Structure 1
């Protein structure tokens, strides 16, 4: 949906300028749509390998909903913005125009709430990542949930007020070939400002924890490096884009305020998918499910690599995650395959001796001397005493 002022109130130059703005918005939205689809194809193999066979979890459900619903909605939006959704001239029946206006007044609110929900899912996944980095701290979780709730309650309230104001004023511009409105609701500024504040706080918390891990040399864990690298890239790109979009909303003319709307939506969806898929040290879907679940990563305790370096190589476990003390079955440490090839898992002589001991009768010989010291009872069997008659 784009905003276009009423043509009757504009001169020819202003109409031409607004059409240029609409064309620029179309191209930028199309660029975001194509970029999202292209990245989806690039990462589809990783998705099939890491996510599809894995057990269902909240993170997996949210990931798949966001990954497939956004391209679908942006496909409909691209069709609506293409100019082929309605008549391209003003010579159209009143009934036909009425149906097009009804479409605009129904689709615009639906699309708006879907976008708010999608961006909310993305920020919720960010919330889980920060909660994990803070060791699943209950205080951090309470703070983040309250912050998240206040943010999206304010977004929903302001968006609803703005839509109530906009819907009666929505119409169809036959000249531009899109749904249009002649004024922008001021309350929609909060829809951009609120998530920007949330993401800045998330960024500051992530940076604080990164500095702590750097001081304790815990950034050597590959999964930590991946999380911080992708997280900082996400925040840098999204915060800059949100600031630009908020500035456009405040100072730009009505025909430009949605210049980056759909591009940012596509970009956020792309980056949040990359953020979860780029756990480069995770090699199979079981590990991915454990490390990206609500409890999976957050219950792991980050330990310096120096603690493991003190263990002999033959007995040093190799963790696929870089974390220790996990309570999940899928996070159990795996033994190095290289060590397994260098030496056998058992000593043949020791195994043969063990078999001989197992074949011996569960009878022990004890002398009648003094207090008769008795050895340990093997396998919890009944103890028998045999008198050695050969002794004088």
Structure 2
């Protein structure tokens, strides 16, 4: 019996491992895509009601872009990286190599922008936070783009269609994992400020559906997005190049799904927490935000002793149409088990007991 050449055996073993790695990457990408589409189907009725039937805003624009462009990008990715194409041109491989990366950058940027807008609203839109978030966001986005495209340009000459694996393949820089660091730093900053405001609202006894959703989803989002970033970093730092796609497409599915849930959950919570105005706007509009006004908390009577100079009316007796947006913000701060509001006799405004 003729013994096989050791070099050939080693090469075949590497090829076998590469096939297993690519198969694992395909499976995880398809699993992520199924999660994305399944969640889209589950929440489509909410999307119609809470996005398409509402006034257009930056949040709704970001939502729609991530909701519909990301699946289209992933369909092309699955066609390419799934080994479904019998042949792909060199120009397609190179162009898609850069286009896909550009959309990944934009998609994550849109999600981070949504989270920054939420934080900005929670804090009541102070000027210092507007400047800080703007500077940090631009720094994160530009730094990530520079790192990602610098290393991609350096290795663009390695992009080619592999007829054995039936996909476009390219070598990656051993330092490409650093492009996830700016995002991770930005997310930590947002999370810390969210926790600070959550503690402040907790001390003020602010407890409404909107507040609960803001903080619950904010914490869950931070955990998920951080794990996704670390997952990408670890794979790109420690795993062989044949596993570079293991985390990439799965994360691209999970993060937009989380972003869509952030928007839909918050808008859905307003139905029980917010009241409409004459103009069709709500207290969550840009002018008023999600900030729970501190004056209402200061006016709350914690000892339960009624003020003789005020008149008490039941919830059903409050004439909603006569309330200003600021009054609605104050009304929304009342606990669900409270029944009465305090009406000032001079200014006619509603204050929380």
TM-score range, shorter chain: 0.7 to 0.9
Q: Which residue of 113, 117, 132 maps to 2:102?
A: 113
Task: Calculate the TM-score normalised by the size of structure 1.
Answer: 0.72
Distance in 2 of aligned mates of 1:286 and 1:9: 72
Corresponding position of 1:208: 196
Alignment of 1:1-392 (within 5 A): 11-87=11-87, 100-181=89-170, 183-218=171-206, 220-279=207-266, 280-283=268-271, 290=282, 293-298=285-290, 301=293, 303-304=296-297, 307=300, 312-314=312-314, 317=318, 326=325
Inter-CA distance 128–10: structure 2 relative to 1 (3 Å threshold) = farther
Inter-CA distance 318–161: structure 2 relative to 1 (3 Å threshold) = farther
State the SS of the aligned residue for 2:168: strand
Task: Calculate the TM-score normalised by the size of structure 2.
Answer: 0.79
Distance in 2 of aligned mates of 1:283 and 1:81: 43
Per-residue deviation, 1:180: 0.9
List alignment gaps of at least 5 residues for structure 1.
Answer: 1-6, 88-98, 335-392
**Does the 8 Å contact 2:123/2:291 carry over to 1?**
no
State the SS of the aligned residue for 2:161: strand
List alignment gaps of at least 5 residues for structure 2.
Answer: 1-6, 333-353
Distance in 1 of aligned mates of 2:129 and 2:110: 19
Per-residue deviation, 1:205: 1.1
**Does the 8 Å contact 1:120/1:152 carry over to 2?**
yes
Distance in 1 of aligned mates of 2:283 and 2:97: 38
**Deviation string, structure 1 residues 345-377 (Cα, Å, up to 9, x no partner):** xxxxxxxxxxxxxxxxxxxxxxxxxxxxxxxxx
State the SS of the aligned residue for 1:176: coil
**Does the 8 Å contact 2:292/2:330 carry over to 1?**
no
Per-residue deviation, 1:140: 1.0
Per-residue deviation, 1:86: 2.5
Inter-CA distance 176–31: structure 2 relative to 1 (3 Å threshold) = same
Per-residue deviation, 1:318: 9.2
Distance in 2 of aligned mates of 1:318 and 1:50: 25
Distance in 2 of aligned mates of 1:103 and 1:252: 27
| Structure ranking higher on relative contact order (CA contacts 8 Å, 6+ apart) | 1
Inter-CA distance 306–16: structure 2 relative to 1 (3 Å threshold) = farther
Distance in 2 of aligned mates of 1:176 and 1:62: 36
Distance in 2 of aligned mates of 1:296 and 1:178: 51
Distance in 2 of aligned mates of 1:178 and 1:293: 47
Larger radius of gyration: 1
Inter-CA distance 304–325: structure 2 relative to 1 (3 Å threshold) = farther
**Does the 8 Å contact 2:22/2:242 carry over to 1?**
yes
Number of aligned residues: 310
Distance in 1 of aligned mates of 2:182 and 2:297: 37
State the SS of the aligned residue for 1:228: helix
**Does the 8 Å contact 2:122/2:291 carry over to 1?**
no
Distance in 2 of aligned mates of 1:185 and 1:8: 27
Corresponding position of 2:349: none
Over aligned residues, Cα RMSD in angstroms?
3.1
Per-residue deviation, 1:155: 0.9
**Deviation string, structure 1 residues 273-319 (Cα, Å, up to 9, x no partner):** 10111124323999697466544424662544983986623367598
